[in-house]
Amino acid sequence: MKPYSFRLNKILDYRKYLSKKAQVEVFNARNECQQREKELLRLVEQRAEVSEECGEEEAKGMCVPVYQIFQAFMLKIDYDLKEAHLRLNEGKEKVIVKETILKQASIKKKTLETLKDLQYKKYMETLGREEQKILDEIVITGKGRSV
């Protein structure tokens, strides 16, 4: 009997490659999402600091141009916060998409691995029956000679 070979081995290797690639993409997407969260937190802290500073200056008594500068800066920070929220939501959606791709790639890879295992098990059972058949024939022919 010829040795066992899985005809779909190249496809299985490719599926493993796709699965690893998907894992890397999920990792990168999560890191990017974490960076966006850090940026958002930094902007929130900056807005709180500027607001506090504006309140202190207002208590001391500030002139109109300085107040307008503070207001313009606060508007810019608010705009940046909205943009950061949008980027964060996009990043979260991207992570979900990448995780879905990873799940599909893992399922396809696991399916081929299961098929390979089943075929190997079937091959080993067939090989065992063939060997037993040969041994039975040897025993039968050996008894026939001794009589």
* Residues 52/58/61/64 CA torsion (nearest 10 deg): 120
Q: Is 108 exposed, middle or buried (0-12, 13-18, 19+ CB in 10 A)?
A: middle
In this predicted model, what pLDDT tens digit does every residue of 60-117 receive, in sequence order?
888 888 889 989 999 999 999 999 999 999 999 999 999 999 999 999 999 999 999 9
* For residues 30-59, average pLDDT: 92
Question: Is residue 23 within 8 Å of residue 99, measured between CB atoms?
Answer: no
Cα 91 to chain centroid distance, Å, stands at 14
Handedness of CA 80, 86, 89, 91 (dihedral sign): negative
What single letter denotes the amino acid at residue 86?
Answer: L
Which domains does the chain possess? 9-107 (1.10.287.1700)
